[in-house]
């Protein structure tokens, strides 16, 4: 889907970001990654918290591209897909992985307990960290005013 189509169906709107706004999101990511690494946290909470860090990284890329997700239904999936629109191919492999995690996070938050395994939680702690690094490299190259 294109930005034009997403604008037309009110899933995104134009947005002018600032370094201050992005730094606030960076602080959320740092907090969530630190919280997800707490050894006594359940696998489900680790998974959901690390997922939130990934979602915030997607949001940073979208903001740098000049948009904000406004979709009420499917907000998370729109955010993941828009990160690919913003960054292009480098974000694609992460987007597919994060979309799979989105489904599991939905079960964790709304349906079941004890959904995530220790391996899944550990992996989801690594993936957002590497994705955040990719986003920051992309920002430095394409939007250095926000680095």
- Indicate the domain borders of the chain: 3-139
The CATH number corresponding to 3-139 among 1.20.120.330, 2.30.30.180, 1.20.1050.10, 1.10.10.1590 equals 1.20.120.330
Q: Please provide the size of the chain in residues.
A: 147
Residue (of 80, 106, 105, 75) closest to 93 by Cα position: 80
pTM to 2 decimals? 0.91
Mean pLDDT, 10 residues at a time, over the chain (147 residues)? 94 97 97 95 90 95 97 90 94 89 76 80 88 96 95
**Exposure string for 107-117, b = 16+ CB within 10 A, e = fewer:** ebeeeeeebbe
In the structure encoding, which two tokens stand for residue 51, read together? 């997922």
Q: What is the pLDDT, as a whole number, of residue 124?
A: 83
| Residues in contact with 97: Cβ distance below 8 Å, sequence separation at least 6, in sequence order | 127
Residue 1, helix vs strand vs coil: coil
């Amino acid at each position: 889907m294109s930005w034009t189509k997403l604008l037309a169906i009110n899933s995104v709107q134009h947005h002018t970001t600032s370094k201050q706004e992005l730094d606030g999101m960076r602080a959320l990511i740092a907090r969530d990654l630190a919280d997800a690494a707490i050894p006594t946290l359940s696998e489900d909470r680790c998974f959901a918290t690390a997922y939130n860090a990934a979602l915030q990284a997607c949001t940073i890329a979208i903001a740098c591209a000049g948009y904000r997700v406004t979709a009420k239904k499917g907000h998370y999936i729109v955010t993941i897909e828009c990160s690919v629109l913003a960054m292009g191919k480098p974000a694609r492999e992460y987007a597919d992985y994060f979309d799979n995690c989105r489904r599991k996070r939905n079960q964790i938050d709304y349906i079941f307990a004890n959904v995530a395994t220790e391996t899944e939680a550990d992996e989801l702690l690594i993936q957002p960290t590497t994705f955040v690094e990719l986003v920051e490299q992309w920002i430095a190259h394409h939007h250095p005013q926000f680095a």
